[in-house]
Amino acid sequence: MTNPAFDIDEAMRRVEAAVRPFPKAALFELAEEGHASVFEILVACILSIRTRDEVTLPVARSLFTHARTPNDILALGVEGVDQLIRAVSFHERKAAQIVAIARHAVEHHNGKLPCHRETLLAFKGVGPKCANLTLAIACGEPFIAVDVHVHRITNRWGYVHTRTPEETLRELEHKLPRRYWIDINRLLVPFGKFICTGTRPKCAQCPLNDMCARVGVA
């Protein structure tokens, strides 16, 4: 069941403090390094699918050293992109998707992708998580990106009671204060990697131990 008394403001305050020592989520880290265009964040998100941040970050940095714009990507071609991203999962498929997005950006948007959700969702390989995360990071628009960490942790807290990330997104859009729509992913990704882990969560070390419903935790 959901926890109606859960204080989301206090929870976010505690999580913010808890994750300061940990590495930032990959896409937020890249944006801070200057790779903050819609195209770069979208490409990085595609690279991150089924790939750990520890792999995504160096691969994205390497790719952006060679190609940061749609025109740069087209100059590399699918094989050139594939050679640079081979460490990520499904690299051949992702290389083709990235080049297709670059081509569309050049042919239809003068090489600059717009901050438009439906445009991003129309690309093969781009789902709600990547579209929302791109708009949040690159455009500063309030969108919630639900990944495995956000889905798991908000359910574990008892803040939502959902079965799928899609259901979690709808529930969070309904009840999460808009001021946290971007930060929920920025904070819960490192929190989920290092404290509120999928298996054997570190509840004894968790700053939310007195608030959490511990749904699904043995």
Over residues 144-173, the mean pLDDT reads 98
Domain boundary among the residues 139, 174, 194 is at: 139
pLDDT for the residue numbered 15: 99
Q: Based on the domain organization, do 134 and 172 belong to the same domain?
A: no
Q: Based on the domain organization, do 43 and 134 belong to the same domain?
A: yes
> Does residue 69 sit within a domain?
yes
Q: Based on the domain organization, do 57 and 151 belong to the same domain?
A: no
> Does residue 1 sit within a domain?
no
Query: Which burial class, exposed, middle or buried, applies to 132 when counting CB atoms under 10 A from its CB (0-12, 13-18, 19+)?
Result: buried
Q: Report yes or no on whether pTM surpasses 0.75.
A: yes
Q: Based on the domain organization, do 119 and 40 belong to the same domain?
A: yes
pLDDT for the residue numbered 127: 96
pLDDT for the residue numbered 198: 95
**How many domains is the chain partitioned into structurally?**
2
* Tens of pLDDT, residues 173-193: 999 999 999 999 999 999 999
Q: pLDDT tier at 218 (50, 70, 90 boundaries)?
A: confident
Tell me the residue range of the domain where 34 lies: 26-139
Residue 52 pLDDT more than 80?
yes
